[in-house]
């Protein structure tokens, strides 16, 4: 069971980025996103996409992300360019959390030092600065070893039929 926590949303600047953290968490196999602080307003699109394209995927909010991290009953991974290389630690993370809960924390601006301290693993997807969306995608794909790509969705209103060219979207019963 994997939860993604979005920290440090800057109103104005981070609107789409926060939405994309949620959509990427959903599409690439996480079970839940928690939007913290000013990211709490960015839940509508993710709920809407889940209603249209299927679930299960939970969208939650918190005003106390530090408490969410502190009280989390499971392993905590913080994605940061300063962390240990993903390729060195992802097998340990997978073995360590097993089927238990895992919290994956991504930031926007400077992440408070307590997060580095509380995390069981500070993980870098390269040690180069880039994006929370990119680091989340690579982390989830490595964690699930690609299995998330074959995931089935419950109760979609619409399903995309893959095509080499063009777009085909059907209602599930027409498939």
The binder of ligand SAM chosen from 27, 35, 102, 125 (CB under 6 A): 125
Of 117, 24, 116, 51, nearest to 79 by C-alpha is: 116
Q: Which is nearer to ligand SAM, 53 or 102 (CB)?
A: 102
Cβ 143 vs Cβ 103: under 8 Å: no
Please identify, among the stretches 30-38, 62-70, 130-138, 166-174, the one whose residues bind ligand SAM according to the rule CB under 6 A: 130-138
Using CB under 6 A as the binding rule, whether residue 80 contacts ligand SAM is answered as: yes
Q: Residue 136: which H helix or E strand, with range?
A: helix 132-144
Please identify, among the stretches 18-26, 34-42, 119-127, 143-151, the one whose residues bind ligand SAM according to the rule CB under 6 A: 119-127
Using CB under 6 A as the binding rule, whether residue 70 contacts ligand SAM is answered as: no
- How far apart CA 110 and CA 100 sit, in angstroms, is 29
The binder of ligand SAM chosen from 126, 155, 160, 170 (CB under 6 A): 126
Q: What's the closest the beta carbon of residue 134 comes to ligand SAM, in angstroms? A: 7
Using CB under 6 A as the binding rule, whether residue 14 contacts ligand SAM is answered as: no
Structure tokens at 135: 């680091």
- Dihedral sign for Cα atoms in the order 96, 102, 108, 113: negative
Q: Which is nearer to ligand SAM, 113 or 165 (CB)?
A: 113
Residue holding tokens 């919290």? Answer: 103
Which residue has the closest beta carbon to ligand SAM? 107
Of 116, 119, 127, nearest to 86 by C-alpha is: 127
Q: What's the closest the beta carbon of residue 80 comes to ligand SAM, in angstroms? A: 5
The binder of ligand SAM chosen from 95, 98, 128, 154 (CB under 6 A): 128
DSSP code for 7: -
- State yes or no: cis peptide before 56, omega within 30 of 0: yes
| Total binding residues toward ligand SAM, as defined by CB under 6 A | 17
Q: Which is nearer to ligand SAM, 32 or 142 (CB)?
A: 142
Sheet containing strand 121-124, edge to edge, reads 58-62, 32-36, 2-6, 102-106, 75-85, 121-124
């Amino acid at each position: 069971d994997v939860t993604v926590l979005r920290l440090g949303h800057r109103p104005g600047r981070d609107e789409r980025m926060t939405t994309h953290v949620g959509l990427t968490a959903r599409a690439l196999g996480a079970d839940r996103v928690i939007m913290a602080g000013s990211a709490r307003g960015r839940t509508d699109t993710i709920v809407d996409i889940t209603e249209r394209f299927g679930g299960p995927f939970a969208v939650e909010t918190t005003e106390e992300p530090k408490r969410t991290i502190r009280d989390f009953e499971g392993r905590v991974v913080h994605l940061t360019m300063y962390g240990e290389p993903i390729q060195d630690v992802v097998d340990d993370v997978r073995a360590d959390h097993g089927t238990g809960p895992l919290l994956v924390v991504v930031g926007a601006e400077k992440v408070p030092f307590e997060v580095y301290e509380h995390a069981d693993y500070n993980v870098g997807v390269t040690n180069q600065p880039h994006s929370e969306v990119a680091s989340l995608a690579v982390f989830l794909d490595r964690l699930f070893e690609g299995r998330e790509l074959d995931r089935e969705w419950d109760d979609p209103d619409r399903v995309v039929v893959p095509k080499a060219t063009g777009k085909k979207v059907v209602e599930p019963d027409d498939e």
